Amino acid sequence: MHGPGEVEVSRRGLLVGGAASVAAGAVSAPADAQRAPAAPKPAMAKVSFEVNGRRQSLEVDTRTTLLDALREHLKLTGSKKGCDQGQCGACTVIVDGRRINSCLSLAVMHEGDRITTVEGLGTPDKLHPMQAAFVRHDGYQCGYCTPGQICSAVSVLEEIRAGIPSHVSADLTAAPALTAAEMRERMSGNICRCGAYSNIIEAMADVAGAKA
Amino acid sequence: MKFDKPATTNPIDQLKVVGKPTDRIDGPLKTTGTAPYAYERHDVASDQAYGYIVGSAIAKGRINAVDLAAAKAAPGVIEIVTWQNAGPLGKSKSHTAKLLAGPEIEHYDQAIAIVVAETFEQARAAARMVRIDYARAPGRFDLDAQIKSAPPVGEDSGEGSHSPPIARHGDFDGAFAAAPVKLDAVYRTPDQSHAMMEPHATIAAWEGDKLTLWTSNQMIAWGVRDLAQTLMIPKEKVRLVSPYIGGGFGSKLWVRADALMAALGARAAKRPVKVALARAQIMNNTTHRPATVQHIRLGATKDGKLTAIAHESWSGDLPGGGPETAPSQTKLIYAGANRLIATRLATLDLPEGNAMRAPGEAPGMMALEVAMDEMAEKLGMDPVAFRILNDTQVDPMKPERRYSMRNMTGCLKLGAEKFGWAKRNPKPGQMRDGNWLVGMGVAAGFRNNITTKSAARVRIDDKGGIVVETDMTDIGTGSYTIIAQTAAEVMGVPLDQVKVTLGDSSFPEAAGSGGQWGAANSTAGVYAACMKLREAVAAKLGFNSADAAFTGGRVTSGNRSATLADAAGSSAEDGIEYGDLGKTYQQSTFAGHFVEVGVDAWTGTVRVRRMLAVCAAGRIINPKSARSQVIGAMTMGVGAALMEHAVVDKRFGFFVNHDLAGYEVPVHADIPHQEVIFLDETDPIAGPLKAKGVGELGICGVGGAVANAIYNATGVRVRDYPITLDKLIDKLPAMA
């Protein structure tokens, strides 16, 4: 959601009562808009967490997401902003061993946490096995969703090993299998518009020693 | 280098590097998050401020008044720019609607202001305090209501797709009336959104009167031209840098509001400004693929020869805009003596319609290839055999023009064999797998090959490595790698001895990325530059260039030999320019798309189970990344067939589902393992690499193959995309 647009639309929708015709007319701003009371100063807070093994202490606007703390404050731009509203998965990072959408989490909620971003998995000269598998299987094209896909892929294999069931697990009490269906289901929060899905599953299967 | 005669044997034919499945050279950067995208350039300008764009809350009308008092008083706000203080602005021909509106509003979420602040949070918060008093005017938002008054308007999409206002060949009306077997059907495709993963983003910095933009753009030289025109400054004063692009699919062919508003914001704030469109702004602020209504009529003899073909399409756009060229391929793809092609354009006050991956053919083939399936059934023919029977080796409307190379028949035959097409039951609704109704569908794939000039600069570095500079872009297409392969092949060095730098307007102008023209043309330009470099190297070494051999990092001529490092500092700039081969021959690429679906017999849920594309597109420079282009396009085709639909609010004139939760695109769970086979061919008429484009071929036809598979599974023919379960559920076969 962004700005006043949507609010205006729903209000107008109610006013016209769903009528198909739209009358020309003014859409007025609220009557008190002219008075412009000064907005309060942003609330700032200190937070410390560990990113890729390094302790980081920041003072941030409390509205700052974990994603923007990483990208704008720590200049770790590997984690991507695709939607900023939890719909695409490009911002996926691993916090205390679990993957999360870092755009849906405020930085100040992570005091003391251990955060791993794609930069913490490997470097161009020393790729993590999942990063190397993505290169080998061409599991990316434009590369923008890739860090999130890789953080998710690493976590998904851990989740399956840990016995965590998914929507496609036939038996919720049995250990889930390393199947393509399990991997696809668990990876479905990470959108790749270039459409590298078939290759990503092959890269994951390669790392997991499973059949895609 | 002028290319005006078919290629003969040249250094590319060594195929030591070209033609081999090759890992992308940019892969280690992309997979580690170290490839820098536009918004991430903390390194290029200090003291960057943050911009946030305010979009119009009405679709049509004007702004009565703007109240910035609250926003200006908000913490951290540096400047706010609207049309009132932006200074005079021009409009380039590339933009139908203005990038900055005011006081007139042309479409919903058109940019009306940028708020510049110290932090992103402050800019976003202050943007919500901008108060606008609008006078809303009635708009035209309903394509169905407007098509009755839509005049014929042709268009060259500039992307290889051209559709005339009205074109006739032979006597369609007479032939259709006389045809013993006829099909007459109307198909609909909805508005669609590119939904690339990286939002449009720009960092703008002024140095005196010089502007640099680090942005996300497919066509660098177009961007420089259009931004210079809009800001009314000489284009020499504008530099665009775009080395990594998080997807485009046509939405980044032209600079958008992020670029202009960042430039205006930076000028006002006297600081570099970074701006990204919020995800929820993109669908209404930028362009989309327009919805179409397509009327197709086919007439055939009883033995299946097409005698009459009509394809008429309606779409809508803002005043001054253009149509979706959906009938384009129907001029060319099948034989048939009598033809009618028509394109009509309604006026709509929706956001700007424009190119999205394979404009024209992508929605056009979704209709035509279903019509071909329907016609095959009426004829009692196998749909593969029906297409093969109506193959043509010439442009049917200009029979003197031959195809440079056309093996669509080979694609369909090999595909049928590999996919197990013989197991398909032609009678719908017969194949079952538990609760799943199973069906197979086929479609042809067709997309033109465009030749366009492209240049590069190359040099030998101190260690004998090759450095390539060109303003070509890599939008995920694999440009870095195929350019490196080309330079490595021509200069006789291993791939890792080539450094490729792209996407900077200070480099020679390349073809850019669009219309699947990037690969063949940009590598041809690099080929031309490298051939010239070979001459420079030979001259520097005192060798006769005619017999100098370039292999293993060495240059050998007679009994003399030197390393490339001995010629360090040699450089050359050249490009490819084409003669008339693109006109005298029809140059196209071809595919056979095969799809198997399962449709849940109780719920109508559609699952794609298997997909195969067999492609004929000339020499494939890097089979690994070319395959990825095709599977990616197949994936987008599945989205178009099954889920993608930008829903218009016809009262207020905007796309309602304008984010990635509401506008559904395929996710992992929607896509099975995909197979791609490239026919082993070279097209010497296409260019020196004998290669053609492949990036859009994969989406052309595949949606029709999905639709045809659903029909084969269920017996339900849906002509209104996307094929969602509500269009199937009450028509499914009764369950035993």
Q: Give the model confidence (pLDDT) of B604-656 as tens digits.
A: 999 999 999 999 999 999 999 999 999 999 999 999 999 999 999 999 999 99
Q: What does the block give as tokens for A150? A: 């890789």
Asked if the model's pLDDT at residue B212 lies above 60, the reply is yes
In tens, the pLDDT along A112-137 reads 999 999 999 999 999 999 999 999 99
Q: Name the nearest CA neighbour of B256 among B205, B204, B210, B201.
A: B201
The count of residues in chain A is 212
Among all residues of chain B, which has the CA nearest to that of A79? B33
Cβ distance B120 to B50 under 8 Å? Answer: yes
Mutate to test the interface with A, among B20, B23, B25, B30 (most CBs of A within 10 A): B30
Kind and range of the H or E run holding B45? none
pLDDT digit string (tens) for B567-606?
Answer: 999 999 999 999 999 999 999 999 999 999 999 999 999 9
Distance CA B390, CA B379 (A): 13
Query: What pairs with residue B459 in β-bridges?
Result: B467, B571
Q: Is B334 a residue whose pLDDT tops 70? A: yes
Which CATH class for the B162-174+289-449+587-731 domain?
alpha beta
Say if residues B578 and B449 touch (Cβ distance below 8 Å): no
User: Between chains, do A87 and B661 touch, taking CB under 8 Å as contact?
Assistant: yes
Mutate to test the interface with A, among B31, B41, B47 (most CBs of A within 10 A): B31
Distance CA B130, CA B111 (A): 13
Q: Is the predicted pLDDT of residue A9 greater than 80, yes or no? A: no
Domain boundaries, chain B: 2-33+451-581, 48-138+197-247+252-285, 162-174+289-449+587-731
Residue B380: Cβ within 10 Å count: 11
SS (H, E, C) chain A: CCCCHHHHHHHHHHHHCCCCCCCCEEECCCHHHHHCCCCCCCCEEEEEEEECCEEEEEEEECCCEHHHHHHHHCCCCCCCCCCCCCCCCCCEEEECCEEEEHHHCEHHHHCCCEEECHHHHCECCECCHHHHHHHHCCCCCCCCCHHHHHHHHHHHHHHHHCCCCCCCCCCCCCCCCCCHHHHHHHHCCCCCCCCCHHHHHHHHHHHHCCCC
Smallest Cα distance from B103 to chain A, Å? 14
How far apart CA B222 and CA B234 sit, in angstroms, is 14
CA distance B6 to B26: 33
Which one-letter DSSP state was computed for residue B538?
Answer: H
In sequence order, what DSSP letters do the residues of B664-717 get, joined into one string?
A: ----GGG---EEEEE-----TTT-TT-B---TTGGGTTHHHHHHHHHHHHHS--
Spatial neighbors of B209 by CB under 8 A, at least 6 apart, are B233, B237
Assigned token pair, B574: 């050249």
Any A CB within 8 A of B251 CB: no
B394-421 pLDDT, tens digit per residue, is 999 999 999 999 999 999 999 999 999 9
Contact predicate B346/B677, CB 8 Å: no
User: Where would I find the beta strands (DSSP E) of B582-692?
Assistant: 585-586, 588-600, 606-616, 648-649, 654-655, 674-678
What tokens does B536 get? 């420079």
Q: Which residues of A touch B138 (CB under 8 A)?
A: 21-24
Find the CB nearest B54 among A3, A78, A194: A3
Give, as one character, the DSSP assignment of residue B508: P
Read off the pLDDT of residues B293-322 as tens digits, 9 standing for 90 and up: 999 999 999 999 999 999 999 999 999 999
Percent with pLDDT over 70 in chain B: 99
Chain-centroid distance, C-alpha B98: 23
The residue written with tokens 């996926």 in the block is: A92
Catalytic annotation present for B374: no
Asked whether the beta carbons of B635 and B183 are under 8 A apart, the reply is: no
Among the partner-chain residues A42, A81, A142, the one whose CB lies closest to the CB of B476 is: A142
Please tell me if residue B39 touches chain A, with a CB cutoff of 8 Å.
yes
What is the rounded CA–CA span in Å between residue B509 and residue B512?
A: 8
Distance CA A78, CA A144 (A): 9
Mutate to test the interface with B, among A126, A141, A191, A200 (most CBs of B within 10 A): A141
pLDDT bucket at A32, cuts 50 / 70 / 90: very low
Radius of gyration of chain A (CA): 22
B76 interaction partners in chain A (CB closer than 8 Å): 42
How would you class A31 by CB atoms within 10 Å of its CB: exposed for 0-12, middle for 13-18, buried for 19 or more? exposed
Q: What is the mean pLDDT of chain B?
A: 97
Cross-chain residue pair B29–A33, CB shorter than 8 Å: no
Q: Is B231 in CB contact (< 8 Å) with chain A? A: no
Write out the E strands in B332-391. 338-347
DSSP B602: T
Q: Average pLDDT for residues B4-24, to the nearest whole number?
A: 98
* CA B299 and chain centroid, separation: 32
Residue showing tokens 């923007």? A68
Note whether A119 and A76 are within 8 A (CB): yes
What's the number of CA atoms in the CB half-sphere (13 Å) around residue B491? 39
Please name the helix (run of DSSP H) or strand (run of DSSP E) that holds residue B414, with its range, or none. Answer: helix B408-419
- Of A155, A86, A78, A80, which is closest to residue A123 (Cα–Cα)? A78
Are B32 and A122 contacting, i.e. CB atoms less than 8 angstroms apart?
A: yes
Residues in contact with B400: Cβ distance below 8 Å, sequence separation at least 6, in sequence order:
B394
Domains B2-33+451-581 and B48-138+197-247+252-285 share a fold: yes
pLDDT (0 to 100) of residue A26: 44
- Please give, rounded to a whole number of angstroms, the shortest distance from the CA of A139 to a CA of chain B: 8
| AA letter at B305 | K
- Burial group, residue A56, by CB count within 10 angstroms (0-12, 13-18, 19+): middle
Task: Output the six-digit token pair for B324.
Answer: 């979706």
Q: Which 3 state secondary structure label does DSSP give B104?
A: strand
Structure tokens belonging to residue B301 = 């003899």
The CATH class of B2-33+451-581 is alpha beta
First to last CA, chain B: 69
Four-point Cα dihedral B68, B73, B76, B79, nearest 10: 40
pLDDT of residue B545: 85
Least confident range from A9-13, B325-329, B369-373, B663-667: namely A9-13
Angle in degrees, CA B94, B98, B104, rounded to 5 = 150
pLDDT digits (tens, 9 = 90+) for B133-192: 999 999 999 999 999 999 999 887 666 678 889 999 999 999 999 999 999 999 999 999
Torsion angle, CA of B603/B604/B607/B611, rounded to 10 degrees? Answer: 160
First to last CA, chain A: 37
Q: Is the ipTM value over 0.95, yes or no?
A: yes
Best CATH choice for the domain B48-138+197-247+252-285 from the list 1.10.10.10, 3.30.365.10, 3.40.50.720, 3.40.50.410: 3.30.365.10
- CB proximity A122 to B under 8 Å: yes
Segment B342-364 shows an average pLDDT of: 97
pLDDT at B300: 98
- Of how many residues is chain B composed? 736
Q: Kindly give, in sequence order, each residue whose CB lies less than 8 Å from that of residue B675, ignoring residues fewer than 6 positions away.
A: B418, B610, B611, B612, B613
Are B624 and A198 within 8 A, CB to CB? no
How far is Cα A193 from Cα B246, in angstroms, rounded to an integer? 10
Residue B353, CB half-sphere, CA atoms under 13 Å: how many?
Answer: 32
Model confidence at A210, pLDDT cuts 50, 70, 90, reads confident
What is the value of pTM for the model shown? 0.95
**What pLDDT was estimated at residue B163?**
86
pLDDT at B222 over 60: yes
User: Is a pLDDT exceeding 60 seen at residue A151?
Assistant: yes
Name residues whose C-beta falls within 8 Å of residue B460's C-beta, 6 or more positions apart in sequence.
Answer: B466, B467, B533, B537, B564, B565, B567, B568, B569, B570, B571
Inform me whether the C-beta atom of residue B633 falls under 8 Å from chain A C-beta atoms.
yes
Domains and CATH numbers, chain A: 44-121 (3.10.20.30), 129-208 (1.10.150.120)
For tokens 């053919």, the residue is B361
Per-residue model confidence (pLDDT) at position B206: 98
pLDDT, position A212: 63
Mean pLDDT of A43-65: 98
Q: Are A140 and A149 in contact (CB under 8 A)?
A: yes
Contact A131 B31 (CB under 8 A): yes
State how far the alpha carbon of B116 is from the alpha carbons of A181, B76, B120, B649, in Å: 46, 8, 9, 31
Which residues 653-672 in chain B show a CB within 8 A of chain A?
A: 654, 659-661, 665-669, 671-672
Give, for B144, the enclosing helix (H) or strand (E): helix B143-146
Number of Cα atoms under 13 Å in the Cβ half of residue B175 = 21
Residue written as token pair 């050359």? B572
pLDDT the model gives residue B580: 95
Bridge partners of B203? B214, B274
Mean pLDDT, to the nearest integer, of B72-89? 98
